Amino acid sequence: MSEAENQVQGGEIPYLAHEKARPGQLEMIGDCLSALKRRGHHLAAAPTGIGKTAAALAAAIEAARTSDGPRTIFFLTSRQSQHKIVVDTVRRINARRPREDKVRLVDMVGQSSMCVQPFANEGHALFSLLCSQARSERSCKPFTTPAPGLRHRILSDPLHVDELVQMAKTHTEHGVPTLTCPWKAAREAVSSTDVFVGDYNHLFVDAVREASLKAMELDLSNIIVIVDEAHNLPDRIRMGMQRRFTPTVVRNATFELEEYAGTVAENSARMGGDVAELNAQIASWALEVMKKLRSRMGDFFREILNEPAEFEERKVEFDRLQRIFLMSCDEVEGKVGQQQLGQEPVEAVNAPSNGTDRLKMLRDILFDVQIKLETEDENPNVEIDAHRIANLLDDLLRFGKTTALVFVHDTKGREGRITSHLLDPGLVSGPVLQNCAGSILMSGTLYPPKMYADLLGIGKEKTTKQAYESPFAKERRPIMVANDVTTRYKDRSFDNTQRIRNHLQALCDGTPGHVAVFVPSYSMLKEYVGEGIFRGVTLRMEDRTWSKQDVDQLLDVLENAKASGKRILLAGVFGGRLAEGIDYQNGVLDAVACIGIPNPPPSIHQKALRSYVEERFGRGNAWRYTSTQPAINSIMQAMGRPIRSIADRALILLLDKRNTDRMYIECYPADVRMNATNEPETTKSFARRFFSRVQRLHEGSS
């Protein structure tokens, strides 16, 4: 056992944010430190209240500062709201450390959210284009203005990203006002910091990782990775790898490539030389291929529409999609159909004869495409469609011959569309985690940890997994299950809906404060909650368009209503902004109701995912890994919203009798106990007894 691990065993934890470790926290720190010391990985199912952020940071900082080489900690989150917790935790660590041993931290969010230029408020795609154009032309003065003083300030004391942005606007260098780019200043400071706080994308999107680490002057092998709310990572990777295209996307990509090829040809004529001429030839060849592809794509989509559908969708085989690209290459090169058409083959370039190499060349030239935009362009949804097709080709080349990639056609939109789905997130996350200096993956619902180790491709070697017990006494968070209701489709009825609403009303009647209710979808939110009438409470219902600012304002509304004695019924969806990644502090919620079980709807994608998981991890895991466990984990995330500190107490009501079925109950942690309620009056009586007997710890005796 190392000296550092001995310190943990003896209760001495140099980088803990608190004077004393919480129940379970000491064990988690020891497990994390043990894994990191051997460049391994630890998966922690750490319930709320254990202090998992402080535990992970304490272990990671200790491991980084006692390692043989340089180590930078990447603390990655899925939501901006979680950044503040990390920054505040490091500030508390620093308050307990001597000044010469302070922990340095850099907090970053997306480039547009940190931008000080007027076009920062444009849509994401348009902003990216305008920002890239301004930087390449060196017309962005904040980006080109050096500010060493701001970099020094970033490293001297941890800043929330909002504080950094405001500071960049008013910063002075040697007494002279110096408007500078806070995103650039932060990124340049990362190489000198201990902890970097950012989004999953910084490591788990290939292009972002390569660009970020190069700019930060860091090597993946020297990075300790902490993934917070890691139960979200598999789906985030899958969503990030989705590609959608239509005949219109192919048409637009052709126009973009035509503009780019013209620029390359002009440069070639002006500069001369073999390299410039070859670039022009390759661009010309790619343009002709895209023109052929465009003429074929409309017919291809119409052909698919005439085929039998399943779940109102159609699966598109990899070979068939690849063939349409290769046939376009063949046609340009005179290998099919040209002589009969009386056309001469394009001799702009000697394209590779190998199909894979030709697709690589087409992919690379499409990735090189850049288009000019005017800053007064009012279209906020502009996309570089050439890059969409390039990403599609990249996925075909990387994963197309495996069963891990599935293409699905649906009829949404005027033309229909084809969407690619990567079924195995481990193909992306596995190489990252296996090549870093060690990792901690943690969540209150990383359950069971083995499932996430499988899905993320971490491997068994040097990997430890632990589900920690909740520090909350079970009597402070009782769970009720209404055994007389369900949202199972075949059992839905007017009477069933009324019983669900009656149970919810009973919970409100028996609860002294705010109640939150969560459902599987926005349509069900309207059906079960929005169309009901609930007495004694004011309904505030989530909208899919809500922003982070809307949620922040809502927290203020809840606090103010509580102070004035008013009660709110807060309604949202599982996995939405109100159900995950939001900190309901100071006991602002008293109870949570969960309506239904958020199983994914049947689809070709879901069917392919289940088959793939069965092939990889066995039939016994297929349903659990793809349906039942993710659904129950979403419910557990919602259940944890009112329990944010060891002082809290809350009542949980599950409004679906299926929660006690074997296939679902085995997905809950072994220490979960459920109480049955069979009618609304029982629900109300149980709630009143609980709240009369158990208060928040600072309010009175527990």
Residue 116 pLDDT exceeds 50 = yes
Q: How confident is the model at residue 546 (pLDDT cuts 50, 70, 90)?
A: confident
Residue 113 pLDDT exceeds 60 = yes
Q: How confident is the model at residue 474 (pLDDT cuts 50, 70, 90)?
A: confident
Residue range 539-548: mean pLDDT, rounded: 89
Residue range 85-108: mean pLDDT, rounded: 94
- The CA distance from 353 to 363, in Å, is 16
Length of the chain counted residue by residue: 702
Residue range 574-598: mean pLDDT, rounded: 91
Give me the pLDDT at residue 176, please: 85
The torsion of the CA quartet 381, 385, 387, 389, rounded to 10 degrees, works out to 140
Beta strand 172-173 pairing with 223-227: unpaired
Strands (E), 324-392: none
What does the pLDDT look like over 672-685, one tens digit per residue?
999 999 999 999 99
Q: What is the mean pLDDT of the chain?
A: 90
DSSP SS3 for 353? coil
Residue 420 pLDDT exceeds 80 = yes
Query: Are 57 and 15 a contacting pair, CB within 8 Å?
Result: yes
Give the chain's domains with CATH numbers.
Answer: 3-103+194-239+427-467 (3.40.50.300), 247-415 (no CATH), 474-699 (3.40.50.300)
Query: Are 12 and 434 a contacting pair, CB within 8 Å?
Result: no
Q: Which of 441, 457, 587 is nearest to 60 (CA)?
A: 441
CB-based contacts of 580, cutoff 8 Å, min separation 6: 79, 229, 232, 637, 638
Q: Within 10 A of 616 (CB to CB), how many other CB atoms are there?
A: 18
Residue range 230-249: mean pLDDT, rounded: 94
Residue 351 pLDDT exceeds 80 = no
Give me the pLDDT at residue 174, please: 83
Give me the pLDDT at residue 376, please: 40
The answer to whether the predicted template modeling score (pTM) of the entire model surpasses 0.75 is: yes
DSSP SS3 for 695? coil
Give me the pLDDT at residue 11, please: 57
Cis amide leading into 448 (omega within 30): yes
What does the pLDDT look like over 363-416, one tens digit per residue?
999 999 976 544 343 333 345 899 999 999 999 999 988 999 999 999 998 889
Task: Give the torsion sign (CA, 208, 210, 213, 214).
Answer: negative
CB-based contacts of 231, cutoff 8 Å, min separation 6: 443, 445, 446, 447, 452, 633, 637
Q: Where are the alpha helices (DSSP H) in 107-146?
A: 111-114, 124-136, 141-144
What does the pLDDT look like over 303-324, one tens digit per residue?
999 999 998 999 999 999 999 9
Flag the least confident range among 169-173, 328-332, 338-342, 673-677: 338-342
- The CA distance from 446 to 452, in Å, is 7
Residue range 57-62: mean pLDDT, rounded: 97
Give me the pLDDT at residue 6, please: 57
Q: How confident is the model at residue 187 (pLDDT cuts 50, 70, 90)?
A: very high
Give me the pLDDT at residue 698, please: 58
Q: How confident is the model at residue 331 (pLDDT cuts 50, 70, 90)?
A: very high
Residue range 480-509: mean pLDDT, rounded: 97
DSSP SS3 for 433? helix
Query: Are 576 and 542 a contacting pair, CB within 8 Å?
Result: yes
Give me the pLDDT at residue 348, please: 41
- Helices 426-435 and 233-240: angle between axes, nearest 10 degrees: 120
Residue 104 pLDDT exceeds 70 = yes
Q: Which of 53, 49, 4 is nearest to 30 (CA)?
A: 4
Give me the pLDDT at residue 349, please: 53
Query: Are 151 and 187 a contacting pair, CB within 8 Å?
Result: no
The torsion of the CA quartet 535, 537, 541, 547, rounded to 10 degrees, works out to 170
Query: Are 285 and 291 a contacting pair, CB within 8 Å?
Result: no
Amino acid at 44: A
Give me the pLDDT at residue 145, please: 87
Residue range 84-109: mean pLDDT, rounded: 94
